[in-house]
């Protein structure tokens, strides 16, 4: 049987979509520079799929990505785009790509962004996804761009709250991001030596256990009690009121919020995002489509998007058990 002809790519586009994360700029830079080195033209698409549908498309060269590797956020901007969820929106996006000569796109974002990429690929635009989210909640990969920076930012903030909690002999409930996933809470909980770590995957909503734990620690002379609460559980302020009433210990909630999404990316985020961005550029050059780049068991790999979206991921049980003991 004759081999299917591989589509030849001449021009690629790159966009960032969904929530921003530190390291996205390093990924953009690598996509641009590796694609140029591969002999392709590169266009930047602003504000995710919204910018694509509004034709906010710019030419990019090596200089366009100078001095961005250490910047948080994304120089291209990002957005959530309802129109892309519709069949007409996807067809329009593919037509716009063709009108601008874009044969392939690198989409940097989370699972939702991958779904958009999957649909574009069915419309004949070659797509490669890169895992850009601080939440670490993409099943096919052990690493996502921005997670490392976010946990370090949160860890430093929690250390500071801990100092004042200790001075005032307070209980502090510190809420960290992560949407429905508890990875940021688990990592910071362990790294900050929290007394309780509440993550949506495991929490049984038994507040009495926490109250008993605080009372017991107080009896043993503990000066503070740090509870790391994941965004997926939320309600930290009302939880603080109930805990204070039940324990008599002054209890304050601190919601770290968007600070966790910003800031200069760590070395790990810059390095991994750079390697992954380069891989995405190479996959497009090879004519691949409907793939995502991932990190699995220490290796950089790629998966079919359909396969990646069907994968499941859970908090590692051993790590969670250890977090409770420490
Ligand atoms: P984050 O993890 O930061 O939330 P995400 O990529 O999962 O990132 P979403 O808001 O779920 O964030 O998706 C980003 C965009 O991808 C959406 O605004 C939409 O434009 C597109 N998208 C999401 N789901 C679909 C879908 N089922 N079909 C087509 N496009 C989609």
pLDDT of 6:
73
Q: What string of DSSP letters covers 212-258?
A: HHHHHHHHTT---EEEEEETTT--HHHHHHHHHHHH-S-EEEEE-GG
Percentage with pLDDT > 70 across the chain: 98
pLDDT of 3:
58
Cβ neighbors of 138 (< 8 A, separation 6 or more) are: 110, 111, 131, 144, 294, 308, 313
CA 264/CA 319 separation, integer angstroms: 28
Beta bridge partners of 228: 174, 197
Ligand 1 centroid–CA 89 distance in Å is: 13
85 ligand 1 Cβ < 6 A: yes
By the 8 A CB rule, do 226 and 259 touch?
no
Core vs surface per residue 287-303: b (16+ CB within 10 A) or e: ebbbbbbbbeeeeeebb
| pLDDT, the chain, mean | 96
Ligand 1 centroid–CA 248 distance in Å is: 44
CA 323/CA 53 separation, integer angstroms: 45
Give the β-pairing of 11-16 and 251-255. unpaired
CB atoms within 10 A of CB 221: 6
Q: Determine the average pLDDT of the residues in 167-187.
A: 97
Is the pLDDT reported for residue 308 higher than 60? yes
For the entire predicted model, the pTM comes to 0.96
pLDDT of 4:
60
Question: Of 111, 135, 137, 302, which one is the catalytic site residue?
Answer: 135
Q: Helix or strand or coil: residue 171?
A: strand
Helix 267-285 and helix 147-168, axial crossing angle in degrees, nearest 10: 160
């Amino acid at each position: 049987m004759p081999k299917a002809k591989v589509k030849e790519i001449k021009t690629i586009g790159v966009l960032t979509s969904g929530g921003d994360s530190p390291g996205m700029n390093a990924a953009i830079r690598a996509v641009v520079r590796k694609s140029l080195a591969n002999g392709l033209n590169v266009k930047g698409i602003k504000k995710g799929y919204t910018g694509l549908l509004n034709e906010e498309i710019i030419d990019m060269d090596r200089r366009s990505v100078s001095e961005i590797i250490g910047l948080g956020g994304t120089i291209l901007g990002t957005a959530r785009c309802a129109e892309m969820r519709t069949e007409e929106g996807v067809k329009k996006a593919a037509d716009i790509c063709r009108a601008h000569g874009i044969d392939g796109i690198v989409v940097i974002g989370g699972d939702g962004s991958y779904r958009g990429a999957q649909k574009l690929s069915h419309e004949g635009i070659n797509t490669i996804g890169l895992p850009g989210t601080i939440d670490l909640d993409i099943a096919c990969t052990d690493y996502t761009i921005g997670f490392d920076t976010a946990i370090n930012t949160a860890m430093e903030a929690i250390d500071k709250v801990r100092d004042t909690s200790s001075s005032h002999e307070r209980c502090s409930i510190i809420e960290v991001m992560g949407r429905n996933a508890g990875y940021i809470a688990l990592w910071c909980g362990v790294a900050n030596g929290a007394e309780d770590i509440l993550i949506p995957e495991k929490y049984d909503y038994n507040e009495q256990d926490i109250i008993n734990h605080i009372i017991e620690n107080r009896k043993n002379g503990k000066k503070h009690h740090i509870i790391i609460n994941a965004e997926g559980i939320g309600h930290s302020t009302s939880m603080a009121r109930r805990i204070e009433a039940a324990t008599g210990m002054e209890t304050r909630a601190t919601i770290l919020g968007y600070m966790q999404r910003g800031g200069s990316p760590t070395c790990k985020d810059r390095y991994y995002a750079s390697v992954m961005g380069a891989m995405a550029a190479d996959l497009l050059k090879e004519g691949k489509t409907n793939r995502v780049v991932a990190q699995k068991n220490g290796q950089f790999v790629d998966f079919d998007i359909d396969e990646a979206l069907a994968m499941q991921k859970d908090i590692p049980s051993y790590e969670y058990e250890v977090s409770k003991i420490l």
